[in-house]
A and B are shown apart, each in its own frame.
Chain A
Amino acid sequence: MSPATTLLPAVAGTIAISAFGILAGLLFLGIDRKFAAHMQARIGPPIRQPFIDTMKLLRKESVVPDNAIPWLFNFAPILALASSITILLYLPIGSLMPVLGAYGDLVLIMYLLTVPALAMVAGGFASGSPYATVGAQREMVTMMAYEFPLAIAIIAIAWRLSMAGIAYPFSLATIATNPFWGVMGPLGIIGGIILLLILAWVTPAELSRVPFDSQEAETELAGGLLVEYSGRNLALFYLAQGVRTIAMAAIAVAVFLPWNISTFVAMSPALALAVDFLFFLAKVLLVVFVSVSLIRVSMARFKITQIVSVYWIWFGGLGILGLLLIVLDATFGVW
């Protein structure tokens, strides 16, 4: 193949995915705020509120503090948004296979997931504010805490697929086309449900939402990592937050809820694409509702020490239990 035939779809796909990620990200942030408001018996902001907020932030002055490191301070929001979009490029959206699926797999995604968080840490340290520094340190601790259960959940699924004799078990295309629920017996399905719950609880920490938002904590850290950011830079972080929400939900959908309507009901290719895309949005909505809105409305913020013990001891232990069930399932077969 000539470079033009491989490069052109990749570039076009990247532009399309960026537009989709940013628009859908803001939309889902708005839906999340509406859900939260209704659960608190409020009317809540209109669903397009995040768009209005972003427009306003883009029109405001962007202040760079005197004791900040300007290039890093301005670069961190761009890096956060760009790396969040990059994650989406490796994820299947509906029945559309990932744009860069041939170049990266689940392991790469696990590394990429840390990049937006690292960008926020870099931006926090570059702000030259004690609040942002404390926030950056907390973000790093949170990252180390949730990485372990997240890795267990994802590796266990891929390992089970490889035990079922499926080639390239870490490839997202393989995971999306072979739902792992199908290859497992009852024990494995219990293990899978446990891992699904763990992923649902890792999502709020990954997105720094309540109860795992001790790095942003308005009440104690005055905005933490983002304390010195304003105007355009804050808007970029806000967009990155939306794209990360979509990316995290898309990972949960791709690994745990990979079904498409078009595999069950016969329809024309164009219609299948549209229906699967809408079904994908519905699945993302379900994930956002459970692991962002529901958890953040029903809980108060954890302390940073509690975050570590929750993830390492409780979710880590639960993850090993789920992994054990899947191992037993793979060893003894269906019974």
Chain B
Amino acid sequence: MNITKSFNRSLWAFHFNSGSCNGCEIEIVATLTPRYDPERFGIKLVGSPKHADLLLVTGPVVKKMRPRLLRVYEQIPDPKVVMCVGACGISGGPFYDSYNLDGPIDDVIPVDVYVPGCPPRPEGIIFGVVRALQKLERLQGELP
């Protein structure tokens, strides 16, 4: 069963804000505008984690959001890809030594692809999606 083949042309993304400053959200929405038109590749934003294949996480994971992030992650049906968008999710970014952080994201859930930037450009986010698909393909090849 080759899942990556169908993911290649149809990847539904669910966006989760774990305490971001809204900068990355603006860039994610900019990625979905007609100028970049990711629907060409079957990428679309869905409203429910149950419909999603790709979890886009932004923000450094504040304490209150940790259980919510875990719940949303568990609600996404397998197989799934997690993408961390923005510097906050990678290292905490400008909030790295805040008292209220429980992150960064890879302390809470496994992350497949990191997109650096504060905020990353839409091109960066699209490149991240491509990398995520490549990684899936590689993992598929390594499996027996």
Contacts and interface: CB of A to CB of B under 8 A. Distances in A.
Interface of A: 33, 37, 40-46, 49, 52-53, 55-56, 59-63, 131, 217-219, 221-223, 226-231, 234
Contact of B47 (A33, A43, A218, A229): A218
Contacts of B42: 45, 49, 52-53
A61 B34 contact: no
A227 to B, nearest CB: 5
Interface string B40-51: 111001111011
B78 interface: yes
B10 A229 contact: no
A40 B34 CA distance: 7
Given A218-B46, A223-B48, A59 B77 contact: no
Interface of B: 1, 3, 6-7, 9-10, 34, 37, 39-42, 45-48, 50-51, 53, 75, 77-79
Contact of B77 (A218, A223, A227, A230): A230
13 contacts: A43-B40, A45-B40, A49-B42, A52-B9, A52-B42, A56-B7, A59-B6, A61-B78, A219-B47, A223-B50, A226-B51, A228-B48, A230-B51
B47 A221 contact: yes
Given A49-B10, A63-B75, A230 B50 contact: yes
B91 to A, nearest CB: 30
B73 to A, nearest CB: 13
Contacts of B45: 218
Contacts of A229: 50-51
